[in-house]
């Protein structure tokens, strides 16, 4: 008889040896069920901590929505009101080119030239104005009312319609 060769590490046992069959029906497992903790306190602590984190996230999200929406609304009102203030300040300082070029949309720039501003405000210069952030209305358009005082005329409430032009707001209505 030939001596049997040692098992080859790459190919397993030689072909003349057959592995033992697996245990069949009636074989006894080393344990019937996995061991379990008799104390469930850790489970309840974990579930309680997870529930607390979930509750804090829900309450925090609700409070953020309740408090951030009015802040964002007020910020938007302040931004459009500041644009109207800057426009009226340019008119008051008789800087019609700045009022025309920086604060009007393209449609209003084509309707009202710098020469129109010079003619329109030659006899009735803007002497003062009042713009209140709280009066800004977000309707179909953003409307900013302003009380404009002109030389020799009674104060008039003008309503400027605002539109967004890339990253800034410009006046696109109410220029008369």
Domain assignment of residue 120, yes or no = yes
pLDDT in tens, 123-141: 888 999 999 988 898 888 8
148 confidence band (pLDDT: 50, 70, 90): very high
Structural contact between residues 143 and 133, judged by C-beta atoms closer than 8 angstroms? no
Mean pLDDT of all residues in 170-176:
85
Domain assignment of residue 17, yes or no = no
Domain assignment of residue 98, yes or no = yes
- Distance between CA 27 and CA 173 in Å, rounded? 90
Domain assignment of residue 44, yes or no = no
Could you count the other beta carbons within 10 Å of the beta carbon of residue 138? 12
pLDDT in tens, 69-114: 877 778 888 889 999 999 999 999 999 999 999 999 999 899 989 9
Q: What was the pLDDT predicted at 81?
A: 92
- Distance between CA 15 and CA 2 in Å, rounded? 14
Domain assignment of residue 160, yes or no = yes
Domain assignment of residue 29, yes or no = no
Q: Say which CATH number the domain at 75 has.
A: 3.10.450
- Distance between CA 142 and CA 89 in Å, rounded? 20
Of 76, 125, 83, 118, the residue nearest 104 (C-alpha): 83
Owning domain of residue 153: 63-171
Q: What was the pLDDT predicted at 30?
A: 63
Q: What was the pLDDT predicted at 124?
A: 87
Domain assignment of residue 47, yes or no = no
pLDDT in tens, 1-51: 555 656 556 666 566 666 676 667 766 666 666 667 677 888 889 999 999
Domain assignment of residue 57, yes or no = no
Q: What was the pLDDT predicted at 6?
A: 60
Number of structural domains (the chain) is 1
Structural contact between residues 80 and 169, judged by C-beta atoms closer than 8 angstroms? yes
């Amino acid at each position: 008889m030939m001596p049997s060769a040692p098992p080859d590490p790459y190919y397993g046992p030689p072909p003349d040896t057959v592995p033992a069959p697996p245990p069949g029906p009636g074989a006894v497992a080393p344990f019937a069920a996995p061991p379990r903790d008799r104390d469930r306190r850790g489970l309840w602590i974990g579930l309680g901590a997870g529930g607390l984190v979930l509750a804090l996230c829900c309450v925090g999200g609700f409070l953020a929505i309740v408090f951030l929406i009015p802040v964002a609304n007020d910020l938007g009102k302040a931004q459009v009101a500041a644009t109207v203030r800057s426009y009226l300040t340019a008119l008051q300082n008789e800087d019609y080119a700045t009022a025309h070029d920086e604060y009007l949309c393209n449609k209003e720039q084509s309707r009202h030239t710098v020469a129109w501003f010079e003619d329109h405000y030659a006899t009735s210069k803007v002497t003062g104005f009042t713009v209140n952030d709280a009066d800004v209305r977000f309707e179909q358009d953003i409307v900013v009312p302003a009380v404009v005082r002109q030389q020799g005329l009674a104060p008039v409430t003008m309503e400027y319609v605002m539109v967004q032009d890339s990253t800034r707001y410009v006046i696109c209505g109410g220029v008369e």
